[in-house]
Structure 1
Amino acid sequence: MTRKAAGNAPGHAAGNEAGEETGEEPGEEPGAAHWLFGDQLGPHFIDPARGGPRRDAPLLMIEARSVLRRRRFHRAKAHLILSAMRHRAAELGDRVRYVKADTYRQGLREAVGDARVTVHHPTSHAALAFVRSLPSVRVLSARGFLVTHDAFGRWADGRGTKHLRQEDFYRWVRQTHDLLMEGDQPAGGRWNLDHDNRQPPPRGATDLGVPAPYRPRESEIDDEVRADLDRWSRDGDVEFVGEDGPRGFPATRREALAALHRFIEHRLPTFGAYEDAVLTGDATMSHSLLSSSLNLGLLDPAECAERAEAAWRSGDVPLNSAEGFVRQITGWREYVWHVYWHFGTRYRESNTLGHHEPLPDWFTDLSPDGTDANCLSHVLRQVRDTGWTHHIPRLMILGSLALQRGWEPGAVTDWFHRSFVDGYDWVMVPNVVGMSQYADGGRMTTKPYTSGGAYINRMSDFCGPCRYKPTVRVGEDACPFTAGYWNLLHHHRDRFEHNPRMTQAVRGLDRLTDLEALLEQERDRRD
């Protein structure tokens, strides 16, 4: 399938942070070792034809314990990353030197001394600043994304920070990469099939009845990783949160491809319609569970999007499902990556709403017993047990709660980063600061994404057995999301009433006969 390029071929990675293309060829650094970070594990990170190192270049991987000391990571996340790194080292054999060290600097010194090293553009501001501070390291362009930084810069030029909308970007990516297109028009005549992809779960269903997602089998490497994590925890060297059951996500390219194949063949057909639905008895619904594989670099976004399109063109998948998945991969994921770099290092500090409340211990500990709200308890249990839940529980339950209760957005971002197997700095800063917490004041999204209990009741089966009632605002039966929603609108009325997408909701405050009682209730809860 031929693709047009937006500054590069599909899957050809982004340029550097300044939006420049390096123009570097692997042959320009003879004899240099190439350093693979733990999220650069696929073949496209060592392909000379795509700006990677020379075919005869030795490879270096560093497992730095200090990374795990910085945050109290979910144990399943630590397990997955270390397992993926060690599996990749085993695959590469004698070509790679795998160093276990206390810090990256120490590991680099032990492995190569002062010799020259190349590395592909890391995925965080901190990592990029670190490698650029090392005189022996040359930074090559990034990998793992469709759109280069310079191409994004050209697209964004002149739009201003208030007009970098994801929908505009998504349409541009579809056009320039010829994805789901019929000539110069979108397949089916519409760019966005969201309207078809917001169905509530089937009435009375406990699950969608689709084949289960791919689950890998653990190896001896997983046993070694688990033994190391046990020892580090026992020695007090590293502290984790959450459970580390059998590894639930791919750690190798082969496993990731198997997961992609199973999703396209068996789960993508039912993905679209129920993309935003939630069922207590079906944690994964029809979601792909490929985000961790993409973010580890085991899969390339181009191959994911193209396989989904091929399944639609062959008649095996409806257009709304193919479009919904393509939008997640080539629209939202690409957009988040570029927003992270485009808005710079200060973006994470955004706090337009002035929220400064600390996260409660029960939330940071992933304790489902810390709340009586059935939806929240259920989702926290899933995160505790697996390090994953799909986008609606993340946004409309976990994120919505944090926004309504005024939790400090930087702390919320850190919590998402360390609690999810697919969480990385570049992923969580835009998703949490921009979309979930509306802390950037609308630079990324046009409105805050939060709701009362009515939305949760419509899109899930959580509310039936819950002690709280989604329609009740005040009293012992008051849904914390319903009360929290109106409390949030009240406290930020001056800001939200000037937002065209929020005007009608804010006017609803004037119709509440129990507003004063609701506000007093929320003050008592905080005290």
Structure 2
Amino acid sequence: MLLIPILGDQLTLELASLRGVDKSETRLLLMEVMEEATYVRHHKAKIVLILSAMRHFAEELRGEGWQVDYIRLDDPDNSGSFTGEVGRALARHGADAIRIVGAGEWRVQKAIEGWADRFGVPIEIVPDDRFICPLTDFFAWAASRRELVMESFYRQQRRRTGLLMEADDTPTGGQWNFDKDNRAPPPKGRPLREPQRFPPDDITREVIALVEGRFSHHFGTLDSFALPVSASEARELLADFITERLPRFGTYQDAMLEGVDFLYHSRLSTSLNCGLLTAIEVCEATEAAYRRGEVPLNAAEGFIRQMIGWREYIRGMYWLEMPGLSGVNYFANQRDLPDFYWTGQTDMACCADSVRNTRDNAYAHHIQRLMVLGNFAMLAGIDPAQVADWYLVVYADAYEWVEHPNVLGMSQYADGGRLGTKPYAGSGAYINKMSNYCKGCRFDVKKRVGEDACPFNALYWDFLDRNEKKLRANRRMWQPYATWDRFGEDTKADVRAQAKRFLDSLEGAAPGWARATGQEPAPL
């Protein structure tokens, strides 16, 4: 008998481990285990999403004729770990071999690699070919370059897939990247239809009750849970995005509007990252819409670049850099994560709204994550390990393979530039340009110093000042340092003092590091 464990982020019928096996001689094992729900205190909506999607997928597998052994979180004999449940299943079914697709996270992969010795049965670990670029190919690409710039990888991916390519091997539209067309500030007078929602069915309602009962102390609310939990629902959301949001996604992908939680973004990342959709089907649908004349090229290219460029690049960088990536701290930042990351109780309108969206939806789009919450954490000198844990806790699409490089590399520059060519640091001016947050904020975005000065402004210049030895030689940082050099000494002293006063006001805030402290976040 062959045992095929399926993890909670591998929920697809096309999973490589299912190919070429005799269903009558195979048992599929799906496991809800406490260890995975609590290694960080995940947002309640994230736990509901994964458990409900697993239960729906088990029903889909049974409908396809598979014999499924499903272990629920509340099963009385549940061991609480993947390893414990695999051991019980081997004995229960008399299985003499294991086949499994490689895990998406380092710690889980290390556990899987120990199963052969632990259980005394052969194990076949199959590469995860839901991703477009095999890891061996990514490692070869990385080994051939001095700088691991995503753009060159992306162009290789375009050629590999043929997406938005012409017959003469040139990119559609004559250029590879239309990012310069994708930086418009928020639109005016263009009301948005609410994105498609998926009200909980009986399975999801049962999971919600379980999570509210067992994880009531976790961050977030389930009041508005409406994420897709099956492949059919995920494809409905994809179709809705292509029709309703993709045409303006490119132009406004970096824009932020207070209280408008999704704008033109897809919300497909939760479905992609747990397996309900594949990147290639999303990209093919996007290209088809462009070829039909339904979306502009800058929107189609920008979205495909996120799928086959950035997403695949991030995954490759995770496996290239682990396990060392977990401990990087280039700026030696030690400050605790402020409590407002959990409570949303701050006068900074951009941060308050981004945390509110995060609490309500287990979601915030990439600019809220990068240039509001991530930017603040880096400028304020927050310990990057605490920042990374927070992102892993609060977002429903967060798995370590995607969060570690994005947060520790891109957002916090904690790897010293291994992934990004410069820190993504910005003052209040950037947030003011790309949002309407500053209009209603009690802080004045045009001021650097004073009681009502926007905290981002002094923090930005103080960040450059205290990290000058590490950043001034960066060729992409010459302009901000040239500006800093033009400040008079009195101005510089005022900026340093303003930053210190604000940072001192953060001292004593309850550390929000869920893994280390076990503290319960306060309600928003």
Give the TM-score normalised by structure 2: 0.89
Aligned residue number for residue 39 of structure 2: 70
Superposed displacement of residue 52, structure 1:
6.5
CA contact (8 A) 2:31 2:82 kept: yes
In 1, the alpha carbon distance for the partners of 2:112 and 2:468 equals 45
In 2, the alpha carbon distance for the partners of 1:52 and 1:164 equals 37
SS at match of 1:272: helix
Superposed displacement of residue 280, structure 1:
1.2
In 2, the alpha carbon distance for the partners of 1:197 and 1:525 equals 34
Q: Match for 2:107: what amino acid?
A: A
Q: Aligned ranges for residues 45-444 of structure 1 at < 5 Å?
A: 45=15, 48=18, 53-56=21-24, 57-93=26-62, 95-100=67-72, 101=78, 102-113=80-91, 115-135=96-116, 136=121, 137-160=123-146, 163-182=147-166, 183-203=168-188, 205=189, 208-233=190-215, 239-363=217-341, 366-369=342-345, 371-444=346-419
Superposed displacement of residue 151, structure 1:
1.5
CA change 1:67–1:188 in 2 (3 A) is same
Superposed displacement of residue 355, structure 1:
0.9
In 1, the alpha carbon distance for the partners of 2:348 and 2:194 equals 28
The Cα offsets for residues 375-407 of structure 1, whole Å up to 9 and x where unpaired, read as 111111110111101000000000001000101
In 1, the alpha carbon distance for the partners of 2:247 and 2:306 equals 15
In 2, the alpha carbon distance for the partners of 1:402 and 1:191 equals 33
Q: Match for 1:152: what amino acid?
A: F
The Cα offsets for residues 453-511 of structure 1, whole Å up to 9 and x where unpaired, read as 11100110000111111111111111011111111011111222111111110121122
Unaligned runs of 5+ in 2: 73-77, 505-524
Aligned residue number for residue 526 of structure 1: 503
CA change 1:233–1:312 in 2 (3 A) is closer
CA contact (8 A) 2:31 2:71 kept: yes
Unaligned runs of 5+ in 1: 1-30
Q: Match for 2:9: what amino acid?
A: D
CA contact (8 A) 1:76 1:245 kept: no
SS at match of 2:417: coil
CA contact (8 A) 2:224 2:360 kept: no
Give the TM-score normalised by structure 1: 0.89
Moved more, 396-405 or 97-106: 97-106
SS at match of 2:236: helix
CA contact (8 A) 2:455 2:502 kept: no
In 2, the alpha carbon distance for the partners of 1:210 and 1:310 equals 23
Q: Match for 1:246: what amino acid?
A: S
Superposed displacement of residue 110, structure 1:
2.2
CA change 1:477–1:512 in 2 (3 A) is farther
In 2, the alpha carbon distance for the partners of 1:178 and 1:167 equals 16
- Determine what percentage of the aligned residue pairs are the same residue: 39
In 2, the alpha carbon distance for the partners of 1:424 and 1:434 equals 15
The Cα offsets for residues 410-453 of structure 1, whole Å up to 9 and x where unpaired, read as 11111101110000000111000110000111111100012001
Superposed displacement of residue 91, structure 1:
2.1
Moved more, 136-145 or 325-334: 136-145
Superposed displacement of residue 55, structure 1:
4.5
In 2, the alpha carbon distance for the partners of 1:55 and 1:174 equals 37
